[in-house]
Amino acid sequence: MLKQTEGSHGVAEAVALCRPEVICAYPISPQTHIVEALGEMVKGGELKNCEFINVESEFAAMSVAIGASAAGARAYTATASQGLLFMVEAVYNASGLGLPIVMTVANRAIGAPINIWNDHTDAMSQRDCGWIQLYAETNQEALDLHIQAFRLGEELSLPVMVCMDGFILTHAYERMDIPTQEQVDAFLPPYEPRQVLDPREPVSIGAMVGPEAFTEVRYLAHAKQLQALDLIPRIAGEFKTVFGRDSGGLVRPYRTEDAQTIIVGLGSMLGTIKDTVDELREEGVKIGVLGVTSFRPFPLAAVRDALKNAQRVVVMEKALAVGIGGILSTNVRMALSGIHLHGYTVIGGLGGRAVTKAALHRVFRQAIHDQLEPVHFLDLDWNMVNKELERERQKRRSGPIAENILRDVGMVAAKIG
């Protein structure tokens, strides 16, 4: 049913339709509306056979999810930013143990400086933790990816992170098609665990493994992610059969057929990128977009296939690998091993800075003329940067950078863009 609602509420409805049995979460913006809505559904009796557990921290949230999943329950949680970092040890355990927990990450920056706004630094910090990571472009896709995530995770016995841009998606009201319970039931069978803590057939889960077999256990985790490369498109295909729309999959090419320049990106930024690309196409520029939905496993072959005929690739990143530049672009580079083309990394949208069409036009034009530096910071205010650098040159005790810069910037309430 079509509904105009908040992204968080749409996702909460999708999760509820997946019949979770345990939901545990600790509130943190911008994820909070999702678990609040689920909490209300459990309390109101709409979501039956589900226990909502309030926990004292994110570390506890993931630990409870691990316990619930190991006991054979379909488990869900959601977090963001510092919350994700706080649960990291348990995050690695969930994947290492092969427990198919589904977790929403409402992407938000990581401090310091503390910042509640959107970027991808939180989820990107967990790119190697062994979870599958899917990135939603729209709220409809966020909703759909959650339904696919339970199916995917449970088939592989691996946890899945569904990443959706905090605020930009979670707090946006837009049209979503909410499926029926019958559709979701037809697509998602009841959870049949590979391993379960069952007193009738006792096992232990979580053995210590020494050098004699650790590599093999880790390789099997990698092998499962490689299996996901086949399973993700298959599940997206089945999803289309049941729900009638394209959602998920590994990558999504847009106007790439004859494109000399291809922009690669993740998440909600893709919409603004596509609008910009359409305008450039009208001017006759051969430019296209490659959206990456599955960041883990990273679809090396699909990315290579989509980019191999281009002359240049611009990778847009909402995260910064301090000391090198891009994260997504490093992965894209690996996909392009042996192929010679111009590669650019554009870091933008950090800590909630708007990624505007005007800024994208500017960098795409520079890229088309191969005038872009290898790592470019979108809309970086050099005056602000240079002022602080000068301060540091002038004075040993130059003081805290964030506070210095805020003093330079002054009141920010007046700014709209």
Partner 1 sequence: MFQVRIHGRGGQGVVTAAEMLSVAAFLEGRHAQAFPSFGSERTGAPVVAFCRIDTREIRLREPIMQPDALIIQDPTLLHQVDVFSGLKRDGYMLINTNRSFDALGLGDFVKEFRHERLLTVPATELALKHIGRPLPNAVLLGGFAAISGMISLDSVLAAIRERFTGKVAEGNIAAATEAYKFVLEEEKEAESHA
Contact 297, 132 (CB under 8 A): yes
Please pick, from the candidates 117, 131, 135, 187, the single residue that binds partner 1 as defined by CB under 8 A. Answer: 117
Q: Which is nearer to partner 1, 224 or 274 (CB)?
A: 274
Stretch that binds partner 1, among 168-176, 222-230, 331-339, 393-401 (CB under 8 A): 168-176
Q: Tell me, by CB under 8 A, how many residues bind partner 1.
A: 32
What x-and-dash track marks residues 27-46 binding partner 1 by CB under 8 A?
---x----------------
Both tokens assigned to 296:
């883990």
The correct pick among 1, 4, 199, 338 for binding partner 1 (CB under 8 A) is: 4
62-77 residues labelled b (16+ CB within 10 A) or e (exposed): bbbbbbbbbeebbbbb
In 46-123, the DSSP E strands lie at 51-54, 75-79, 102-107
Per-residue mark of binding to partner 1, 174-203 (x: CB under 8 A)? xx----------------------------
Q: Which residues of 377-399 are buried (b: 16+ CB within 10 A; e: fewer)?
A: bbbeeeeeeeebeeeeeeeeeee
Contact string 328-367 vs partner 1 (x = CB under 8 A): ------------------------x-xxxx----------
Q: Which two tokens stand for residue 190?
A: 């009841």
Asked if 319 and 124 count as a contact pair (C-beta separation under 8 A), the reply is yes
Neighbouring-strand partners of residue 132: 160
What is the nearest approach in angstroms of partner 1 to the Cβ of residue 416?
5
**Per rule CB under 8 A, is residue 172 in the interface with partner 1?**
yes
Cβ–Cβ under 8 Å, residues 294 and 307? no
Q: How far is the CB of 353 from partner 1 (least distance, A)?
A: 11
Amino acid identity at 400 = P
Smallest Cα–Cα separation from 168: which of 146, 137, 208?
A: 137
Q: Specify whether the CB–CB gap between 167 and 187 falls below 8 A.
A: no
Stretch that binds partner 1, among 115-123, 295-303, 392-400, 402-410 (CB under 8 A): 115-123
82 binds partner 1 (CB under 8 A): no
Cα–Cα distance for residue pair 316/298, rounded to 1 Å: 16
Among 55, 71, 85, 116, binds partner 1 (CB under 8 A): 116
* Interface region with partner 1, contact rule CB under 8 A, candidates 19-27, 114-122, 143-151, 398-406: 114-122
For partner 1, the closer of residues 173 and 214 by Cβ is: 173
Residues 213-272 that bind partner 1 (CB under 8 A): 268-272
Q: Collapse the DSSP code of 348 into the 3-class scheme (helix H, G, I; strand E, B; otherwise coil) and give the result.
A: coil
> Which of the ranges 1-9, 62-70, 258-266, 376-384 carries the binding residues for partner 1, by CB under 8 A?
1-9
Say if residues 189 and 155 touch (Cβ distance below 8 Å).
no
286 is a contact residue toward partner 1 (CB under 8 A): no
Q: C-beta of 8: minimal distance to partner 1 in Å?
A: 12
- Which of 274, 296, 312, 318 lies at the binding interface for partner 1 (CB under 8 A)? 274
* Shorter beta-carbon distance to partner 1: residue 198 or 275: 275
CB of 295 to partner 1, least distance (A): 19
Q: String of b and e for 208-227 (b: at least 16 CB within 10 Å)? A: eeeeeeeeeeeeeeeebbee
Q: Is residue 167 close enough to count as binding partner 1 by CB under 8 A?
A: yes
CA distances (Å), origin 341, targets 257, 281, 332: 16, 21, 12
Q: Catalog residues that contact partner 1 under the rule CB under 8 A.
A: 2, 4, 6, 30, 116-118, 138, 167-168, 171-175, 268-272, 274-275, 352, 354-357, 413-417
